[in-house]
Structure 1
Amino acid sequence: MPEPAAVRLDLPGSAYLPDEYVQDSGAKLEVYRRFAGIRSEADAEALRAELRDRFGPIPGPVEGLFTAVTVRMAAEAAGVPEVRVEPGRVTLKWARYARQQVVSALTLAGFRPVAGSNQVRIPVAAGHDGVDVATRVLTALAGGVAGL
């Protein structure tokens, strides 16, 4: 099975392995490889359990890596190569869909997209988690465009 195209993510928060959590550089490199190889929620949960067993409770920056993996998988499923989450909005860039397909799918899913030629912005209301909104939008896009 071919590797999915790389997804570019710009998410808020920290996403890394702190030196205090994984001290050995070889182990750290292997854990980063494992993160890069995650292709399913089951893979993510297996790595999460292994990290807890080997290194202890998962710190915030490592949770950030899991969040990034979740968004990456959703973007891959939706065929979206770039995801940016900023205060008040989520921006997705794509190459594989027609503008109207994206707008229709997201509107049917209850979002209010503002589309350009190859990107769409979705407003994020104050107090809502932009990363959660991005994941829901990507999931809706993956299912919605296929159904159009």
Structure 2
Amino acid sequence: MAVPSTITFKFSILLIILFSFEARETIAISLTEKVTITNNVTDPTPKTITFNCKSKDDDLGVHTLMFGEIYRFSFRPKILYPIVHPTVFSCSFTWLGNPHRHYFDIYDQSRDRCFHCNWKINLNGGCLNGDKCRPWKSVQLMDA
């Protein structure tokens, strides 16, 4: 019986380590969720919307979309869900001529089953992938 040389053994260990890191990166990329927000608000004419989306850990900042424009972001949801709280991105939306701030959960890990969630925001809330429409989570009168 032949005894493997120490060089062959070390090279095998190195290959295993390299493949492990490559597999970890591939799995991490495949677990990335993508969200697209399209402005479809008409009140009664097309409106430019301003919005801010946040999770517990991230604030994506304030953005403005003209009617028909899109905004995209991606993130990695919590792998240990449901052991830990789910990843949730909540957004607030405003537009000129409406004195209210409209709140909407644009992504909720416990609710949404999509790797690319396409939301069309309209006067009544948002529609996911063109068919599952949800009303605003809440609406508040803004300060004057």
After TM superposition, the score normalised by the length of structure 1 is: 0.28
**Which of 1 and 2 has greater Rg?**
2
After TM superposition, the score normalised by the length of structure 2 is: 0.29
Q: Which has the higher helix share?
A: 1
